[in-house]
Structure 1
Amino acid sequence: MPLAAFNPFTFKDYLNLPDNTNIQVIDGVPYNMSPSPSRIHQKLIVELVTIINNHLKANKLPCEVYSSPLDVIFINEGEDIYSSKNIVQPDLFVVCDKSKLTDKGIVGSPDFIIEIVSPSSAAIDYVKKLNLYNQFKVKEYWIINPNTFKILVYKLQGNNEYAEPEQFTFDDKLKIEFLNLIIDFKPIKEGVINA
């Protein structure tokens, strides 16, 4: 649910918020973030960050993996960083262009993003962030639902738009195409259930 209307809310406004304010901004509208993710949510992030980071190091890939809370600032043409109206904190993301790494966060599109759905974030993850990540050409966007053990995978096509999502479960193996990394979700599911 949107906070009180600010027209439009920018990164400059965001920087002036009190330190304990947890919001994301999409199209100039600030949204409250969930106070604290569930234990399963956090366990999934730790497992996935570990798998991806190990793959990046083992293959000496020039990419880095990050998890929330770290700001990703999307900038429209003609904007500077302070006038950006899109500041989010994806659950997990990979950046391969080191020029996007700044002290303020990541400026520009990550190559890969995962959002792990919580009841309070579903509408934002499935709709608003999907549209935002498509607009800013994130190569792959995965939406993981730990309650249903389902995963939606969106990939940019030749027309720079997401195709219909591929649908998977935690019994499947998924491939992050541009990293040539296959992730087997079955042991992840077992680790989460038995944790």
Structure 2
Amino acid sequence: MTIQEMKQLMQERGYTYAQIADLSGVPLGTVQKIFNGETKGLRYDILTALEGIFKEPMAVMESCAAYGEEKKPGMYTIEDYRALPEEQRVELIDGYFYDMAAPTTFHQLIAGEVYRQIANYIIDQGGACTPFISPIDVQLDNDEKTMIQPDVIIVCKPDQIERRNIMGAPDFVLEVISPGTKRRDHVVKLFKYEQAGVREYWIVDPYKKRVLVYFFQREASPVIYPIDADIPVNIYEGKLTIKFQQIAKWGEQED
């Protein structure tokens, strides 16, 4: 893949230099020089790292037989998703299956604590919104090609809540990064959530000890907080603040 082809894909998908640097491991300054045409010779390892971001599809390429009926990549539907064994944890995004590894204990502590604080606030305030914690199916695009399982969501429209899943975009989504989901959470889901109409998206990175907050109604770039901060929830105009101090303490025990 040429740099020009990567630049074209970068524009089509709305990637930033910072996202490319974070996902590839290539220093930000180097990424900027490469895509601005300031670097002529490109080392093979750097080229390979960059290509890994842009190659399609960014799904786990398992044998088609692993997902039951054999179909071409990108052609799987919610019917195929529902036909899978219950113990097989996957997400369906644009017709591709993405494997989901079992979460770590710290991953679950983060999701559980954030959910607890959100639920307590909504109950105390008598709010109309409803929080959910994974596993919860979200039919994000109201179509047959995407069914995801975010870690924590808030849904403010009661008619979106169906017996089997949530229909359409939640108002708030939080994902906790795992080693195998970094690229998916930062790129694939970021794009999908924004396009679907999610108002606010948090990415908790326990490895870099930070939280990225995207509030799509205001700006495209995230606000970055340390993982021990008090972080305001924008859809509640900052009246709800998630306190991460206890989460940070649990993280210290993991180190």
* TM-score, normalised relative to structure 2: 0.68
Tell me, in whole angstroms, the C-alpha distance in 2 between the residues paired with 1:2 and 1:137: 28
- Answer yes or no: is the 8 Å Cα contact 1:44–1:192 preserved in 2: no
What SS class does the counterpart of residue 37 from structure 1 fall into?
coil
Which structure has more relative contact order (CA 8 Å, sep 6+)? It is 1
Tell me, in whole angstroms, the C-alpha distance in 2 between the residues paired with 1:167 and 1:193: 20
Letter of the structure 1 residue corresponding to residue 89 of structure 2 = N
Shift of 1:12: 1.5
Q: Deviations over 1:142-188 (max 9, x none)?
A: 00011221111111126xxx511111112322111122311122233
Moved over 4 A (4+): none
Gaps of 5+ in 2: 1-59, 65-71
**Match status 1:175 vs 2:207:** no
Shift of 1:192: 3.9
Aligned match of 1:25: 92
Q: Structure 1 residue aligned with 2:80, among 13, 17, 25? A: 13
State how many pairs are aligned: 185
Shift of 1:17: 1.6
Q: Structure 1 residue aligned with 2:222, among 141, 146, 165? A: 165
Mark the structure with the bigger radius of gyration.
2
Say what the alpha-carbon RMSD is for the aligned residues. 1.7
Gaps of 5+ in 1: none
Aligned match of 1:47: 113
More helix by share: 2
Aligned match of 1:118: 178
**Match status 1:59 vs 2:125:** yes
Letter of the structure 1 residue corresponding to residue 163 of structure 2 = D
- Answer yes or no: is the 8 Å Cα contact 1:73–1:106 preserved in 2: yes
More strand by share: 1
- Answer yes or no: is the 8 Å Cα contact 1:43–1:192 preserved in 2: no
Tell me, in whole angstroms, the C-alpha distance in 2 between the residues paired with 1:140 and 1:71: 18
Shift of 1:7: 4.1
* TM-score, normalised relative to structure 1: 0.88
Q: Percent identity?
A: 32
